Amino acid sequence: MTGKTANISLEALGDSPQLNVDIKRFNSSGLPLVEAFYTLQGEGFHQGKAAYFIRLAGCDVGCFWCDVKESWQESAHPVIEIEEIIREAKQSTINTQQSMVNGGPIIVITGGEPLLHDLDELTRQLQVQHFKTHIETSGSSPLSGSWDWICLSPKKFKKPLQEVLKAANELKVIVYNKSDFKWAEENAALVSSGCKLYLQPEWSKSAEITPLIIEYIKANPQWQLSLQVHKYINIP
């Protein structure tokens, strides 16, 4: 397997995720893979850094603004052996591995909702290969895996679990309307004192919402602005 996997049409999936997902039903030898690609992290604390993304299939949250709805349906994507996933990651980042002084390349596990799967073996093998393991999650499922960085992006549709809130290194709240500032503060009260706090405008409403976020951060400077930089510069 090289590069991204085949795209699945949204028409074939419909507009809703599979809500009756058997939590962590895949065994540790393989995971349902939507795509994998090497790019720059476009959001949050690590924005601008080189990162290899592994997008897993399956979601039980179903944000209506989601820009990767093709990741929702697990059965639409092949189960790939963990060893193969890691071989591709090593091959794609080989130049980075040779030039890194302070640790290995960043691997971002995303979805869908990646915590629907048992990620212990995947992260164990990645760390053996000196990758830094990052995850992007809504926190709606129990935490598995060994992580160097946990980015929690909680959704009102299915609130995050306490164990994920406490473990989060970064809280990134998507702001779609003014009520999301209250939602952001509710979650900020539940994370650790060292957790980085970010507000990010929902992409389709960024022109309207970004000025509101700027004013909010000026009044509440514990928060920072996150923008989807990868969309502005047209990279994955």
What does the DSSP 8-state code read for residue 224? Answer: E
pLDDT in tens, 68-84: 989 999 999 999 999 99
pLDDT of residue 70: 92
Give yes or no for residue 3 having a pLDDT over 60.
Answer: no
Give the ranges where the chain is alpha helix by DSSP (H): 10-13, 82-92, 94-99, 120-128, 162-167, 179-188, 206-219, 229-232
> How wide is the angle at C-alpha 104 spanned by C-alphas 152 and 127, nearest 5°?
65
Domains of the chain, each with CATH number or no CATH: 31-232 (3.20.20.70)
**Tokens matching residue 17:** 């995720």
Q: To which residue do tokens 């760390």 refer?
A: 127
pTM of the model: 0.86
> Among 168, 103, 169, which Cα is nearest to 131's?
103
What band does 214 get if pLDDT is binned at 50, 70 and 90? very high
Distance CA 185, CA 182 (A): 5
What band does 5 get if pLDDT is binned at 50, 70 and 90? very low
**Span 124-142, average pLDDT:** 96
What band does 158 get if pLDDT is binned at 50, 70 and 90? very high
Instruction: Characterize the bridge pairing of strands 149-152 and 106-110.
Output: unpaired
Top pLDDT among 184 and 27 is at: 184
pLDDT of residue 13: 38
Give yes or no for residue 19 having a pLDDT over 50.
Answer: no
